[in-house]
């Protein structure tokens, strides 16, 4: 994976997304940084260009908390680019208190899972046409405490921040394994990863500043964003994993995810629900 290839990185304006963008740009790939905010995105793009020495770095706006925004982005991307070799689904959110996406979904499930589920599915035709290509989903060790609350997936009752986060991160892995099965033999690989404890702005409420002090206090014990991004970069670029698919990685090594994450019936049930919630079911 290098010169001539095209990569998308979501949540690319800060943290691991920005670090991943820099490293992929260094390989000579055309990097499309997907960000929600124009000004923060512009600032990040300039930094990525400066640190990578690449002139092939682009900013495109997309709000993963809006199904329409995702559809608009995918349409615009296909107008501008004829191929897609690497899709790094990095964006993630965890916030205190219950919040909703523009479509009324619980925010963490809506952005961390549903947003990337729709984005990936809408780009699959391009990924298949560009094969061998790769999809990398950033999950978390928090998936081990996760459960899919099918009776109340938006957690309108009994909301807890870690319940929401665990559900969304388990969903990332179930999605990875099911998609890998569906793409078997196409040349498109799908893997996910736990980046470890990383000092980023995730968990900081920009409006209230909640979480800033906690992040600052814990920062010495956390990896930097650059360190946390290493496994995603490895999965997106290394020839060692060219033919590896449907695996969960930590520190560039495949490790065993939770027993629940390997439940194929659970994965299929989540896929059907996700199709319904994102409107993909009616696209067929």
Q: What does the angle CA 52 – CA 251 – CA 260 come to, to the nearest 5 degrees? A: 125
This prediction has a pTM of: 0.91
Please, which residues have CB within 8 angstroms of residue 219's CB and are 6 or more apart in sequence?
199
Concatenate the DSSP letters of all residues of 99-129 into one string: -B-TTS-BHHIIIIIIIHHHHHHHHHHHHHH
Confidence (pLDDT) at 223 = 55
* pLDDT tens sequence across 212-241: 444 454 444 455 767 778 999 999 999 999
* pLDDT tens sequence across 242-254: 999 999 999 999 9
Distance CA 60, CA 58 (A): 7
3-class SS string, 36-51? CCHHHHHHHHHHHHHH
pLDDT at 40 exceeding the cut of 60: yes
Confidence (pLDDT) at 281 = 80
Distance CA 124, CA 254 (A): 24
pLDDT at 76 exceeding the cut of 80: yes
Mean pLDDT, the chain, rounded, equals 91
pLDDT at 79 exceeding the cut of 80: yes
**Set 165, 177, 234, 248: catalytic member:** 165
CATH of span 6-283 = 3.40.50.720
Confidence (pLDDT) at 159 = 95
Is 165 noted as a catalytic residue in this protein? yes
Q: How many residues does the chain have?
A: 284
Confidence (pLDDT) at 198 = 45
* pLDDT tens sequence across 191-204: 999 986 544 444 43
DSSP H or E stretch at residue 31: strand 30-35
Confidence (pLDDT) at 96 = 85
- Segment 143-155 shows an average pLDDT of 97
- Segment 31-59 shows an average pLDDT of 97
* pLDDT tens sequence across 157-209: 989 999 999 999 999 999 999 999 999 999 999 999 998 654 444 443 334 34
Please, which residues have CB within 8 angstroms of residue 14's CB and are 6 or more apart in sequence?
40, 44, 200, 201, 225
* pLDDT tens sequence across 104-114: 999 999 999 99
pLDDT at 139 exceeding the cut of 50: yes
The encoded tokens of residue 24 equal: 């992929």
Confidence (pLDDT) at 197 = 58
Q: Would you say 261 and 143 are in contact if contact means Cβ atoms under 8 Å apart?
A: yes
Confidence (pLDDT) at 209 = 40
Q: Which of 1-5, 127-131, 210-214, 275-279 has the lowest mean pLDDT?
A: 210-214
């Amino acid at each position: 994976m290098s010169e001539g290839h095209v990569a998308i990185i979501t949540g690319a304006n800060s943290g691991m997304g920005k670090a991943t963008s820099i490293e992929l740009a260094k390989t000579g790939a055309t990097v499309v940084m997907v960000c929600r905010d124009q000004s923060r995105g512009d600032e990040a793009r300039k930094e990525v260009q400066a640190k990578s020495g690449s002139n092939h770095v682009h900013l495109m706006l997309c709000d993963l908390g809006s199904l329409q925004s995702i559809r608009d982005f995918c349409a615009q991307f296909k107008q501008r680019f004829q191929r897609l070799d690497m899709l790094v689904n990095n964006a993630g959110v965890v916030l205190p208190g219950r919040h909703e996406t523009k479509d009324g979904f619980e925010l963490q499930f809506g952005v961390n899972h549903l947003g990337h589920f729709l984005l990936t599915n809408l780009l699959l035709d391009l990924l298949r046409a560009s094969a061998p290509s790769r999809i990398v989903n950033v999950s978390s060790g928090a998936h081990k405490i996760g459960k899919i609350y099918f009776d109340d997936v938006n957690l309108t009752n009994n909301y807890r921040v870690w319940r929401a986060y665990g559900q969304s991160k388990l969903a990332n892995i179930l999605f990875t394994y099911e998609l890998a099965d569906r793409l078997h033999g196409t040349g498109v690989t799908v893997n996910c990863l736990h980046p470890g404890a990383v000092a980023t702005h995730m968990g900081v409420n920009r409006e209230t500043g909640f979480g800033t002090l906690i992040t600052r206090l814990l920062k010495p014990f956390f990896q930097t964003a650059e360190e946390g991004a290493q496994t995603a970069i490895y999965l997106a670029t290394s020839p060692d994993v060219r033919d590896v698919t449907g695996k969960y990685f930590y520190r560039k090594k495949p490790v065993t995810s939770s027993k629940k994450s390997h439940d194929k019936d659970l994965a299929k049930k989540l896929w059907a629900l996700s199709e319904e919630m994102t409107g993909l079911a009616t696209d067929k």
